[in-house]
């Protein structure tokens, strides 16, 4: 009986979190940050605005929970997102960022669903590449910002993402006490995350074909 409640609880938690992300609004209404406070608020809000990005951060935490470097691997992703933001600000373009972001959510969610453990180096490599694209997508919001709001944005953007990943990790290891990736609870979360990714992937592919 406890296992049933645990499964339902994790599923409800992930659905609630992703639903909250989908309903979130940009703290500045899409405007370029002009002050330290504006940059800080934008950095806090952005990781929770895009449901695909939010789901991926949750997945990072779920995978990292069973990693030998559980606190370092999410940091690799976070640092890569900051680098991706700066690439966009510098005018360096990455190919098909939205399509790659959606595909990365699908891939990581499917991996969690498989119940396998990802080795540390491939995990960090994947997080690093994915982080560049995820960060690039959000870099457009800070193009033209002055140094102070730009630094505030990057700092709060990084801290918020890392906090979300650690929160997902804590849910799995401390609340639901999943012993490894074969435990059912993170598989449920993986299925939900993969479903979110497929929805966005289909939307992007459809837009490319019909647009």
What pLDDT shows up at residue 185? 60
Asked, for residue 144, whether it belongs to a domain, the answer is no
**Number of domains present in the structure of the chain:** 1
Asked, for residue 94, whether it belongs to a domain, the answer is yes
What pLDDT shows up at residue 210? 64
Asked, for residue 96, whether it belongs to a domain, the answer is yes
What pLDDT shows up at residue 19? 41
Asked, for residue 148, whether it belongs to a domain, the answer is no
**What pTM did the predictor assign?**
0.78
Asked, for residue 76, whether it belongs to a domain, the answer is yes
Q: What is the mean pLDDT of the chain?
A: 81
What pLDDT shows up at residue 180? 67
What pLDDT shows up at residue 23? 38
Q: Would you tell me how many other CB atoms lie within 10 Å of the CB of residue 153?
A: 27
| Distance separating alpha carbons of residues 187 and 201, to the nearest angstrom | 20
Question: pLDDT tens for residues 93-139?
Answer: 999 998 999 899 889 888 888 878 888 899 999 999 999 999 999 99
Task: Enter the tokens of residue 86.
Answer: 């700066």
- Enclosing domain of residue 97: 2-6+50-136+159-210
Ranges of residues in the chain with a pLDDT under 70 are: 1-30, 178-189, 206, 210-211
């Amino acid at each position: 009986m406890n296992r049933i409640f645990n499964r339902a609880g994790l599923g409800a938690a992930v659905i609630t979190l992703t639903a909250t992300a989908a309903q979130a609004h940009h703290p500045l209404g899409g405007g370029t940050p002009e002050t330290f406070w504006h940059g800080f608020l934008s950095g806090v809000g952005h990781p929770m605005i895009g449901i695909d990005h939010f789901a991926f951060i949750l997945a990072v935490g779920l995978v990292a929970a069973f990693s030998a470097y559980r606190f370092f691997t999410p940091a690799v992703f976070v640092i890569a997102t900051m680098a991706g933001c700066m690439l966009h600000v510098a005018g360096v373009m990455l190919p098909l960022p939205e399509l790659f972001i959606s595909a990365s959510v699908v891939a990581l969610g499917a991996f969690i669903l498989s119940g396998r453990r990802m080795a540390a180096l491939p995990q960090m490599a994947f997080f690093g590449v994915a982080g560049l694209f995820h960060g690039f997508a959000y870099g457009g919001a800070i193009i033209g910002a002055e140094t102070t709001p730009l630094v505030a944005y990057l700092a709060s953007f990084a801290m918020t993402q890392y906090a979300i990943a650690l929160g997902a990790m804590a849910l799995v290891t401390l609340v639901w006490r999943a012993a490894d990736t074969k435990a059912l609870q993170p598989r449920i979360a993986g299925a939900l995350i993969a479903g979110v990714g497929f929805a966005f992937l289909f939307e992007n592919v459809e837009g490319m074909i019909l647009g």
